Structure 1
Amino acid sequence: MSNLHPKHAEWLTGRSIDPVLAEKFGLTSTQQGGSGFWLTVPYVENGQVVNHKFRQTGEKRHRMDAGAPLILWNHDALLSEPVRSGQAAVVITEGEWDALAAIQSGFPHTVSVPNGGPNEPSRGDITEENDAERYRFLWRAKPHLDAVGSFILAVDGDQVGRLLAAELARRLGPERCRFVSYPAGCKDLNEVLELYGEGSVALVLNEAKPYPVKGLYRFRDFPEPPEYASVPLYLPGAVDGPHLLPGTLMVWTGFAGAGKTSLMVFIIADLLRRGINVAMGSFETAVKPILQRKLRAAIIQCSDNDVGNEQYVSAARVAEADELLDQRFSIICQDFTDEEHEMTLEEMLELGRIAVLRDGARLLIFDPWNELEHKRRPDETETDYTGRAIRAIKAFARQYMVAVWIVAHPKKPSMWGQKPDAPGLYDISGSSHWANKADYGAVIYRPNKESNETQLIICKVRMGLPGKEQTIKMDWQWTNSTYVSRVREDAA
């Protein structure tokens, strides 16, 4: 004899839920006072009924036993051997009817939260001591939930359901969770059962996708990147030299007097002539007159002593150089109205962001690194700070698809009175991160200061990037602010 009121059996059938299955899980009809019959759902834990949910089917009214503990509906599914051994996934739904829809469709290891979804996210750390009362049922079942290999979060597809899924994933571990997608016109499993049948419920659950875990992805999770053409740098005598490549970091170093500024200006002038916009943080070389004069000379290809002397360089050629600089070159420097202010890395990156978005800069140069104000945390070593700073710079380069070059000074030579060998990236003051994290690495070196020879040692090219490691030997020609290949001269 059925314990369900005929109208309750009819209501379940109308939702495509088998009344016989419902009775198997203890659903009955109970009469309470003058309020008529209530569809009664028992909550069983370790074989004992510890709570009930009462529902009127004529209108959406429900309540639970006063003072009774909140537990998962169908809690004892967690005690089955397939679940305890980690072999079966546990489905979690937002209500008993969705849970019955899953069980009816071949997923017996299904439980339901007792109290629906939250209206707002929880705050603070999630611990048993400070968690919200509404999630107490999870901590009560924690020893059994800890044994579960994976969960399918089949909660409602509305905002409340999405919030519940996020809260469950936080407590159960997103690495163990999968989420479902419902077909058109459905927001839960019971609606899928009503509209499409048991096979579609099974399909929804079987096609559950891994819950996103921050920092852990598959190839399909990444968008296809746009194609950005690299620009080979013009360096006389180079064979497959380094490239200006968006999204990468190139570190330059060299002792004082090695010609870093002259070579950098030579490269910048060539890029500007080729239509590439550059933003430069100039913290050591005075913007006017030194940097401006050197850039003018490199663009015009004359001695910087001749700039401004119309006997050698006409005002028209200087105006043309200035027009190119005005169109394609942005300067980032300390606030000259506030001599006490020192620019921080964060300020430099923000100004670099504006230069990229407003001025179309494809190259951002820090020259030199040590002139920035570096804000280390109280418990942070220089090495830790440098690593954190480089990570931020590389993230910036990738986000805005701009090449970033940093000029960083090496430690002073230890053997005073002797000609030091060329420094390497590991000799840069502060950290070995300069060598380890750079995509390209370059050393500017003058073996003999009595000679015009300059060596550009490309000491690092990250695997897969264009260019190759090599030593490029050039001669500086101060009369026209250019370099020529020393190899070709030697051969002649």
Structure 2
Amino acid sequence: MKHQVPSQIKKIAAGLSVGQYKKFCPECRHLREKNTHDKSLSLKVDEDGGQYLCHHCGTQGGWMTQDTLDVGSVSRARPTPATIKVATDTNPTVTAYLRSRNISDEVIAEHTVQGDYHFNGHTAPAVGFPYREDGEVNAIKWRSVDGTKCYSQQNVCEDFWGLDRYKKGNDLLMVEGEIDALSWLSCKLPKNLTVLSIPNGAPAKVKDQKISPSEDKRFAYIWRAADQLDSARRILLCFDADKPGLALQAEIIRRLGSAKDVWLVDMGAFKDTSEALADRGEAYCLDCLDSAKPIPTVGLYGVAEFRDEFTSLYEDGHIQGAATGIPSLDKLMQIVPGMVTVVTGFPSSGKSDLIDQICLNLARSEGWKTVYSSFEKPPSLHLAQLSQKINSLPFFEGPSRRMSREQRDWAVEFCEEHFLFMDHSRQGPSTIQGILDVASKAVMRQGSRVLVIDPYNFVEMPPHDKETDAISKMMTTVQKWARTSEAHVFFIAHPTKMSPDARASEKKVIVTGHDISGSAAWFAKCDMGLTVWRHPQDEQPPEAHIWKCRWSWLGRHGSCQLGFDKVTGRWTDYLPEKADPEYWDL
């Protein structure tokens, strides 16, 4: 999809001749709290067109000479960079600068380019760091060595520097700049260690906000390297010992997730590896590497670890969840990432169908993505059911008017953006750990916020464990996964077998977590418990019953009547008289 060059950047670029420039970024300058005088927008203009990149907000793009800036052909999707021819010339000033930092001649020759480079009206001796992909140089980051501290780029450096040298299963050592990377490469490192440098600078501070991969432009290099990061045995972080470096460390750890084996390298009294190598030499740096410590994942913590969260509770109050999209049910429950809802009810009461409706409503109102592990629904039929709810029209031919092809395509585009499916007919995972491993990748790569496991009795359990013990362990595992992944889990489970007459008896029978077969853990280890009740002959409206709510500010025990359209499968508030269907404006 093509996008126009932002209008303010058009105005800046329109008055520029061939050359490289640093300008204020009109997209983010007015939003910045600090460094408001930082010219973070880099522009390069040549005979073929131009490119721009803001090193603060990530806005980037370009245009060709044959395009007018009034039309533009800028895509915020990643462009395919042109290959750069790398000169082999050396520059004595650059070589002397690198040697002064104890960087070896072998590393200088293999990993740098040298020359006089033009920085926004200033020409200076500079070292270039080639960024390679598939063996070709697609970008170079330049840094002056004459004390002027000028920086520039040929093409956009947007992936890890050094990623092309990674071999599956290696350890990764991640640093804040290419000079630090060269410093490490000048040491006798283990053969199974790959050194990476981040392509952009450290943030001024940690931003406490939810992370969506599609919008996480500043750290897009993390998501593009997901395969390599997933397969790395261990990840070591060695960032600058200053406030931005610590913020970078925190942001990287948030994105790697608690499942990764992450270690921290402390360079002691030195700000970074470059200083340490220049002052103390290789042996000291290797000593720091050997003394790396893993980030704590379990154990005891002092009050100081929780002071910020504690203060936030006092200042901002309790965490609030997302609405289910059904007002009467919203009075009883909220949906919060990091929690587990157990859903039960008699067969054919609409458990799965109601959860589908809630997930659709969350996608519509919050933009949340859901990953399904649904053993009883083939994905194609599941999509048909979802499309009926979206369009308020049947998918298949029948007595009622059917959705059009345009409406069908409209619905499937919405589903493609918000839903992922584990296909159990194609060797999808059947153990709880397998399901959670696949879901973890959906959380990391696609930003999924909801996992639906439907139903429990299809999940493969350990053969030698007692059922009650196996379920208890499983629920503990699911709870831990939900919290560390910041995702909400809907776990659907059938109640234990009851008399066929129980559902239709005059005395209404409402099952709860205590009635689910196998273990009391269904009740004890969930955060929210939901039962869907439906009359076998539909002589009464369906009902939702909340029988467990761990936190009083997120819901309460109680019940509500629901509206259910059997033709489209849509769930709404109960209305005594049928109302006109609500059509989505997607």
Normalising by structure 1, what TM-score?
0.51
Per the alignment, do residues 213 and 241 of structure 1 end up closer, same or farther by CA in structure 2, a change over 3 Å counting? closer
Structure 2 counterpart of 1:218, from 285, 302, 317: 302
Contact 1:452–1:476 (CA under 8 A) maintained in structure 2: no
Counterpart CA distance in 2 for 1:213 and 1:329 is 30
Structure 1 counterpart of 2:466, from 377, 381, 401: 381
Q: Look up the match of 1:235.
A: 326
Q: Look up the match of 2:511.
A: 423
For 2:351, give the aligned amino acid. Answer: K
For 1:219, give the aligned amino acid. Answer: V
Counterpart CA distance in 2 for 1:313 and 1:256 is 28
Contact 1:273–1:299 (CA under 8 A) maintained in structure 2: no
Q: Look up the match of 2:411.
A: 321
For 2:542, give the aligned amino acid. Answer: T
Counterpart CA distance in 2 for 1:447 and 1:457 is 14
Counterpart CA distance in 1 for 2:373 and 2:418 is 14
CA displacement 1:53-92 (0-9 Å, x = unmatched):
xxxxxxxxxxxxxxxxxxxxxxxxxxxxxxxxxxxxxxxx
Segment drifting more, 397-406 vs 262-271: 262-271
Per the alignment, do residues 449 and 261 of structure 1 end up closer, same or farther by CA in structure 2, a change over 3 Å counting? farther
The Cα of 1:482 is off from its aligned counterpart by 2.1
Counterpart CA distance in 2 for 1:304 and 1:365 is 23
The Cα of 1:489 is off from its aligned counterpart by 5.1
Counterpart CA distance in 2 for 1:419 and 1:333 is 35
Q: Look up the match of 2:358.
A: 267
The Cα of 1:320 is off from its aligned counterpart by 1.0
For 1:327, give the aligned amino acid. Answer: E
Q: Is 1:278 equivalent to 2:363 in the alignment?
A: no
Segment drifting more, 218-227 vs 393-402: 218-227
Normalising by structure 2, what TM-score?
0.43
Q: Look up the match of 1:436.
A: 524
RMSD: 3.0
Counterpart CA distance in 1 for 2:523 and 2:504 is 23
Per the alignment, do residues 234 and 375 of structure 1 end up closer, same or farther by CA in structure 2, a change over 3 Å counting? same
CA displacement 1:289-348 (0-9 Å, x = unmatched):
x211100101112234359x99632211111111111111011232x345xx86111110
Q: Look up the match of 1:143.
A: none
Point out the structure with max Rg over C-alpha.
Answer: 1
Q: Look up the match of 1:23.
A: none
CA displacement 1:73-132 (0-9 Å, x = unmatched):
xxxxxxxxxxxxxxxxxxxxxxxxxxxxxxxxxxxxxxxxxxxxxxxxxxxxxxxxxxxx
Contact 1:248–1:403 (CA under 8 A) maintained in structure 2: yes
Counterpart CA distance in 2 for 1:383 and 1:285 is 27
For 1:316, give the aligned amino acid. Answer: E
Q: Look up the match of 1:291.
A: 382
Per the alignment, do residues 475 and 489 of structure 1 end up closer, same or farther by CA in structure 2, a change over 3 Å counting? same
Per the alignment, do residues 304 and 266 of structure 1 end up closer, same or farther by CA in structure 2, a change over 3 Å counting? farther
Per the alignment, do residues 248 and 304 of structure 1 end up closer, same or farther by CA in structure 2, a change over 3 Å counting? same
Contact 1:302–1:481 (CA under 8 A) maintained in structure 2: no
Q: Look up the match of 1:355.
A: 442
Counterpart CA distance in 2 for 1:418 and 1:466 is 30
Q: Is 1:344 equivalent to 2:431 in the alignment?
A: yes
The Cα of 1:261 is off from its aligned counterpart by 2.6
Q: How many residues align?
A: 274
Counterpart CA distance in 2 for 1:461 and 1:488 is 29
Q: Look up the match of 2:391.
A: 300
Per the alignment, do residues 319 and 218 of structure 1 end up closer, same or farther by CA in structure 2, a change over 3 Å counting? same
Contact 1:252–1:443 (CA under 8 A) maintained in structure 2: yes
Q: Look up the match of 1:146.
A: none
CA displacement 1:25-55 (0-9 Å, x = unmatched):
xxxxxxxxxxxxxxxxxxxxxxxxxxxxxxx
Gaps of 5+ in 2: 1-267, 270-295, 579-586
Per the alignment, do residues 460 and 482 of structure 1 end up closer, same or farther by CA in structure 2, a change over 3 Å counting? same
Counterpart CA distance in 2 for 1:344 and 1:472 is 34
For 1:248, give the aligned amino acid. Answer: M
For 2:432, give the aligned amino acid. Answer: L
Q: Is 1:470 equivalent to 2:558 in the alignment?
A: yes
The Cα of 1:464 is off from its aligned counterpart by 4.2
Per the alignment, do residues 323 and 457 of structure 1 end up closer, same or farther by CA in structure 2, a change over 3 Å counting? same
Q: Look up the match of 1:365.
A: 452
Per the alignment, do residues 388 and 239 of structure 1 end up closer, same or farther by CA in structure 2, a change over 3 Å counting? closer
The Cα of 1:452 is off from its aligned counterpart by 6.0
Q: Look up the match of 2:421.
A: 331
Per the alignment, do residues 217 and 337 of structure 1 end up closer, same or farther by CA in structure 2, a change over 3 Å counting? closer
Contact 1:304–1:481 (CA under 8 A) maintained in structure 2: no
Per the alignment, do residues 213 and 328 of structure 1 end up closer, same or farther by CA in structure 2, a change over 3 Å counting? closer
Gaps of 5+ in 1: 1-183, 186-211
Contact 1:254–1:423 (CA under 8 A) maintained in structure 2: yes
The Cα of 1:477 is off from its aligned counterpart by 1.4
The Cα of 1:419 is off from its aligned counterpart by 2.6
Counterpart CA distance in 2 for 1:367 and 1:213 is 30
Counterpart CA distance in 1 for 2:419 and 2:513 is 28
Counterparts of 1:41-440 in structure 2, within 5 Å, are 215-222=299-306, 224=308, 230-238=321-329, 240-274=331-365, 275-288=367-380, 290-305=381-396, 312-334=402-424, 336-338=425-427, 343-376=430-463, 378=464, 380-414=465-499, 416=501, 419=504, 421-440=509-528
Contact 2:322–2:335 (CA under 8 A) maintained in structure 1: yes
For 1:284, give the aligned amino acid. Answer: E
Counterpart CA distance in 2 for 1:457 and 1:250 is 13
Contact 1:252–1:444 (CA under 8 A) maintained in structure 2: yes
